[in-house]
Structure 1
Amino acid sequence: MRLTLRQLQVFTEIARQENVSRAAERLAMSQPAASTALNELERNYNCQLFDRAGKRLLINALGLELLPQARALLEQAQAIDALLRGQQGFGSLNVGATLTIGNYLATLLVSHFMQRHPECKMRLHVNNTEHIIEQVSEFSLDLGLIEGQCQHPDLQVTPWVHDELVVFCAPGHRLAAAGQASLQELQQEVWILREQGSGTRRTFENALLPHDLHLKPLLELEHTEAIKRAVESGLGIGCISRLALRDAFRRGSLVALETPELELGRPFSFIWHQQKFQTRAMQEFLQLCTQLTEGCTRSDEIRLPEIA
């Protein structure tokens, strides 16, 4: 073989930093040594992995094809190194979660995992579905927990647990007593909805399409708690996950409006890059998530782990 792991380290870090000096600093090596490693890698294979634009190095098509395989190989090498040195540590794990999962499941899952494995350096990033998919596809995140569908060609999608959206209103709303609403009634209501780009908004709009319903929201908000407060105050009705509403339904501060004409089911899923090497930490975290949902037919049936 005409390449070394060090050359791949330099290549992946330059791809991240777009600058040799910054990459060298991150790798605790001199700038000339980093330049030499990259030059040797390109010279040995008579190829070019970056386009030079002044001091910036912009990864080209060949570099983009190599990048996920290089990252996976480096992660495997680190796992082998830890095994041979007798280490039992979990290294690091960067998890992304969409807002519903992040706010109502992922934080407790991460805390539970870190109690079991305090040596693992773990980071949780919470954002909407489009953002999490993008971050996983770019290897900025090891693993994503998302709501709804993902069609990205480079990502592996594994269903986790069924989720369901539900239309809801304040107890004093005119529809609250009936506990349900027809399509005609929904058309007449004022709506408080999630923002475009969220999995919740996409599922809701997909449910409306077969019925040719086009609702105009009064407010578009990025957080489910803000939507709940707005609906509680009587500004309108909303539609979010039953998981996010189960405590409010128990308290009676919000009321479910069943809508049998709308298909509001969706999956919660795990996503990771197809080229991603599954570290021990990633495998253990996936197993913990799966164990948590055993026997649950819907996300709001999940019994969350208690944190000591």
Structure 2
Amino acid sequence: MVDNRPATPRFSYKADRLKPLRAFCQVIRLGSVSRAAEALFVSQPAITLQLQALEREFGVRLFDRSGRRLQPTREGEALYALARPLVEGIDGLEATFRAEVSGLDPGELDIAAGSSTILYLLPGIVDAFRQRHPEVRLSLHNVTGAGGLDLLRSDGVDLAVGSMLDV
């Protein structure tokens, strides 16, 4: 049997890389395993195991011990520079998402058109639009002649419907 798969390296999915990176960032930020464990509501051995797993995975020492305080190695500082924005981004994701969606304005669409267009051409189009986009506020402006074009040019409306003869 011939293997036709491309000769690219296979990477196993790291199921939960966030926990050890979060622990690592807290240890650097707070300066000790015990303070990081307290901040993350886990045991000190759990933090130590996560740090050891990261060191095994990357094949480097991430900390030097100086008494009870841990000092990041050059590799530890490099990993922290990469991991910190990721961890902070994930940890703040829910709040950022809620702020984004709560501030969304469904919008408004202002249309300028003559009375015959509003009465005969637009009703079906407006009904279909409202069914697809019920959150959008729709305003029709009854204008005559080139008035729609003037409103469009002055940003008074978003769309003008009319005869090309009026242009």
So what's the TM-score if we normalise by structure 1?
0.26
The structure with the largest strand share of the pair is 1
So what's the TM-score if we normalise by structure 2?
0.46
Q: Higher relative contact order at CA 8 Å, sep ≥6: structure 1 or structure 2?
A: 1
